[in-house]
Structure 1
Amino acid sequence: MSEETKHKRPAALSFIFITVLIDTLGLGVIIPVLPKLLEQLGDYNTSMATQINGYLTFTYALMQFVFSSVLGNLSDRYGRRPVLLISMVGFGIDYALMAFAPNVFWLFVGRTIAGIAGASTTTATAYIADVSTGDNRAANFGLIGAATGLGFIMGIGLGGYLGEVGLRIPFMAAAGLALLNALYGFFVLPESLSVENRRPFDWSRANPIGALKRLTMYPAIAGLISAFSLVYIASKAVESVLAFFLVEKFKWSMSSISSLGIFIGVLLIAIQGGLIRIIIPKLGQQRSIVFGLLFYAIGLALIAFANQGWLMYVYMIPYCLGGISGPALQGLITSKVEPNEQGELQGGLNSLLSITTVIGPLLMSSLFAHFTNPKTSSIYFPGAPYLLGAILMLISTVIAIRSFKRTNANHPALDSGVK
């Protein structure tokens, strides 16, 4: 890393923070608006709208699966800066397109573009790895979680409150933010990957299947990668039905959904942006992972059986505390990979996570639709996706603990993640 990059590191990390924030914002904007938007674009009830949302998320995730490894490998060859800037322009185009979508088909077109641009998260996490050292690696990855929290706040806030004024206005606001961030990054973002750490672009390593195969090069962290995948199936997929769950069970309005979204975002920022900097050094990364996964499981189980709307605020506290597991997991995984392979690793991880996002929303939305439609089930249980999520978190906890026992004998430095 050059002296100029070190000097500009705060501005660079700010740009990465905003980039991930806008990525999440684009997903959050849709959450409170989509039920009404689908009602406007076609005649859909809650169950059908939930399934369409699952297909939209499937489209987004499929594009991320295809392009994450490509963008990650391109960033290993040409640097992180150009990939990030081009992706932000792509986000702006996507949101502008969705703002004027005349029918559901164009929502799918928009999600396709967003999935390609959203694959830049691969490069953003590689950038974090480039500018991080052992003692601040997990904390810097916490910026990704904090950006996710703030993006959740802004996305749901824009979607709910601006959506009350006009269903298309939130997308226009998101488009403006993405393009402004691209302009900001053009002037302040330094390159983080030095020329000597770059490597030739190789299609055999850049294709998504090849990227997944490359993950097998790291057997010491195979269990952690498996746990990482289950966490995202349980959390990201279940989040995709949140608005529909709140509308179906508690008859919440868009503004009510936005208020809960803002509360969740504040919690995530406090935990990911601040609390983990205290917790992870004190507990160590392995204990942080275990406690985080257990908090996730408890929160999801409570949400599944919530019988009053105000309890959602209470139950979201343990769920959001589960967020300490993500940076700790990612810190452990990235600490075992060489600098010139970080983009490839992140591409492989994002491809893997994209598969979970392909599977998860379809599974969870179908489960929700099944247990809320009297024609398909005699049991009414809209909390079914959350209960399944809790079970997956417990399985992930067991896998992680078993992985620690196997790896500690050969890699005693794994728990600290600083070597």
Structure 2
Amino acid sequence: MRGDMMPIWKRNLIVCWFGMFVTGVGMSQIAPILPLYIKQLGVNNPSSIAQFSGIAFGITYIISAIFSPIWGQAADKYGRKPMLLRASLGMAVVVGCMGFAHNVYVLIGLRILQGTITGYSTACTTLIATQTDKEHAGMALGTLSTANIAGSLLGPMIGGFVAEHWGLRDSFFITGALLFIAFIATLLFVQESFVREHKQAAGIKEIWRSIPEKSLTISMFVTFFVLTVALYSVEPIITVYITQLSGHTGHIALLAGITFSASGLANILAAPGLGKLSDKIGAQKVILAALIAAGVVFIPQAFVQNPWQLMVLRFLFGLAAAGLIPSVNILVKKITPSELTGRIFGFNMSAGYLGAFAGALLGGQVAAWFGMKYVFFITSALLLANAAWVYFTVYKKLNSSAAIGSLGKIKLINGREEDGI
């Protein structure tokens, strides 16, 4: 890559990171304030508040999972920057309008609309994957992967802080303003050299036939799903668990916010380096090691004696999880034909949205039926089972003598040859 191109990919990375972080905040910041806001909108029955809160929070992720591949296809067809502009401006308007909602049905309608116009993260990931040279792709995707997950994990704490100091409606106005800043930054600073592929698969069946490494692709989708399940499984129980561990009611919200966000902080610190390591030693090795480490770290979380021990273990889990997202994205990029990149990343993002919803649902139901400690045991079992599957379907395949030649290269069906898989 020419030296004068370096500022372009770095600039794109910075803008996309900020945009994905704010988008993650916009998706999740509503969690701690939702019951209070619904009550403010005129719903007073506690059971009705809980019901509407669950619908309003979860519906955005479900709708996003449906529309993410659609916007991924549009990114492949029309370019990634137009999708970034559409999603950031659309979300800025919709999230800002939530602050003007006059009843709970308007709020739910806006949350549905928010899920419909999503696609910023998919377009960003595709842009960075396709516009960054191979030498820096691992670091770039590793850095980018921290943005959405950090925004999603820090969002509840940010939303709660803003609501406590400025008011419930101001949480939406401030988030909308940040999204509008992301739109302006994208408009002014993101550059894309987009060349539309002449041959594009249209339907899902045609796309599926065009994927050269079907089993590997499915394995990456499942791994991303399981990771997000693990990240969000503790969300419904964290406040109650912290209350039990601390033995008092002072600063519970703050302690819960810090604990839930600890894995996000670790992700920010570790993901860029682990992305580079994936390029160096092979993404499949980092994925396998990260899944095992994450599964093991979950077990002692059920036996902690105070909130600080839980925070440390959540931080360690974040370090392990930091190796998964960039490695999954790197491997997806390497096994996907260029004309399908946006759509495949769209399906991968759908798996993440479904994992966020399923994780919160799983945590709440397991805690209600079996107890909070079993949330950690079952999540650990999911991660370790995923590790076993990755070992047999990904690791062994990519490390077999049939797949890797003497120079450590693998020939892909779409005609490209990649190092370090």
Same fold? TM cut 0.5 = yes
Q: CA deviation at 1:51?
A: 6.3
Aligned to 1:340: 339
Q: Residue in 1 aligned with 2:136? A: 136
Q: Does the CA-based 8 Å contact 2:70-2:346 persist in structure 1? A: yes
Q: Indicate conservation of the 8 Å contact 2:225/2:352, yes or no.
A: no
Partner of 1:301: 299
Q: Residue 17 of structure 1 corresponds to which residue in structure 2? A: 17
Distance in 1 of aligned mates of 2:53 and 2:380:
22
Contact 1:32–1:254 (Cα < 8 Å) also in 2 = no
Q: Corresponding residue for 1:260?
A: 259
Map 1:274-353 → 2, pairs under 5 A: 275-277=273-275, 279-280=277-278, 283-322=281-320, 323-353=322-352
Counterpart CA distance in 2 for 1:118 and 1:327 is 21
One-letter amino acid matched to 1:311: Q
Question: Would the alpha carbon gap of residues 390 and 126 (structure 1) be closer, same or farther in structure 2, given more than 3 Å must change?
Answer: same
Deviation for aligned residue 1:350: 2.5
1:133-162 deviations in Å (ceiling 9; x for gaps): 333322221122221354247523421221
Instruction: Tell me if the contact between 1:67 and 1:116 (Cα under 8 Å) persists in the aligned partners.
Output: yes
Could you list the runs of 5+ residues in structure 1 that have no partner in the other structure? 372-378
User: Cα distance, 1:340 vs. partner?
Assistant: 2.0
1 CA distance for matches of 2:50 and 2:384? Answer: 26
Q: CA deviation at 1:16?
A: 1.2
Query: Aligned equivalents of 2:49 and 2:289: distance in 1?
Result: 35
Q: Which position in structure 1 is the counterpart of 2:378? A: 388
**Distance in 1 of aligned mates of 2:31 and 2:419:** 36
Letter in 2 for 1:298: V
Q: Deviations over 1:354-385 (max 9, x none)?
A: 444454433333333x24xxxxxxx5x22433
The answer on whether the counterparts of 1:130 and 1:192 sit within 8 Å (CA) in structure 2 is no
Cα separation, partners in 2 of 1:233 and 1:264, compared to 1, 3 Å: closer
Identity %: 19
Q: Residues 182-230 of structure 1: CA distance to partner in whole angstroms, max 9, x if unpaired?
A: 01211111124224x465583x24xxx876x468652351463254244
Q: Could you tell which deviates more after superposition, 405-414 or 159-168? A: 405-414
- Mean CA deviation greater in 313-322 or 36-45: 36-45
The aligned counterpart of 2:397 is: 406
Change (3 A) 1:171 1:61: same
Q: Which residue of 1 aligns with 2:97?
A: 97
Q: Does the alignment pair 1:117 with 2:117?
A: yes
Distance across 2 between alignment mates of 1:27 and 1:125: 17
TM-score between the two structures when normalised by the length of structure 1:
0.83
Give the structure 1 partner of residue 178 of structure 2: 177
Letter in 2 for 1:318: L
Q: How does 1:208-223 map to 2 (within 5 A)?
A: 213=208, 217-222=212-217
> Structure 1 residue 82: deviation in Å?
0.7
Q: Sort the Cα spacing of 1:215 and 1:199 in 2 relative to 1 into closer, same or farther, 3 A.
A: closer
Amino acid in structure 2 at the alignment position of 1:347: G
* Paired residue type of 2:296: I
Please tell me whether residue 33 in structure 1 is matched to residue 33 in structure 2.
yes
Residues 117 and 254 of structure 1, relative CA distance in 2, 3 Å threshold: farther
1:345 deviates by: 1.4
Aligned 8 A contact 2:96 2:172 in 1: yes
The answer to whether structure 1 residue 235 and structure 2 residue 230 are counterparts is: yes
Counterpart-to-counterpart distance in 2, 1:394 and 1:72: 31
Task: Report if aligned partners of 2:403, 2:410 keep a CA contact under 8 Å in 1.
Answer: yes
Structure 2 gaps of 5+ residues are 412-417
CA distance in 2, matches of 1:231, 1:106: 32
SS in structure 1 of the partner of residue 117 of structure 2: helix
| 1:317/1:262 CA distance change after superposition, 3 Å | closer
| Comparing 180-189 and 252-261, the one that deviates more | 252-261
More displaced stretch, 137-146 vs 121-130? 137-146
TM-score by structure 2 length? Answer: 0.83
Q: Distance in 2 between matches of 1:210 and 1:171?
A: 41
Q: Please tell me whether the aligned partners of residues 226 and 355 of structure 2 are also in contact (alpha carbons under 8 angstroms).
A: no
Distance 1:285 1:226, change over 3 A: same
CA spacing shift, 1:156–1:352, aligned 2, 3 Å: closer
Give the whole-Å Cα distance in 1 for the aligned partners of 2:108 and 2:99.
13
Between the aligned partners of 2:214 and 2:325, the Cα distance in structure 1 is: 20
Higher relative contact order (CA 8 A, sep 6+): 1
After TM superposition, the structure 1 = structure 2 runs for residues 37-56 of structure 1, keeping only pairs within 5 Å, are 37-38=37-38, 40-41=40-41, 42-43=43-44, 53-56=53-56
Distance 1:290 1:23 in 2: 29
1:67 Cα deviation (Å)?
1.1
Query: Over residues 93-135 of structure 1, what are the superposed CA-to-partner deviations in whole Å (9 max), with x where a residue is unaligned?
Result: 2211222334433332232122223333221111111123333
Q: Which residue pairs with 1:66 in the alignment? A: 66
Which residue is 1:375 aligned to?
none
CA gap of 1:298–1:39, structure 2 versus 1, over 3 A, is farther
CA RMSD in angstroms comes to 3.3
Residue pair 1:234, 1:390 contacting (<8 A) in 2 also:
no
Deviation at 1:233, TM superposition (A): 5.0
Q: Secondary structure at the match of 1:32?
A: coil
Distance 1:156 1:362 in 2: 17
Secondary structure at 2:233's aligned position in 1? Answer: helix
Cα distance in 1 for partners of 2:302, 2:281 equals: 29
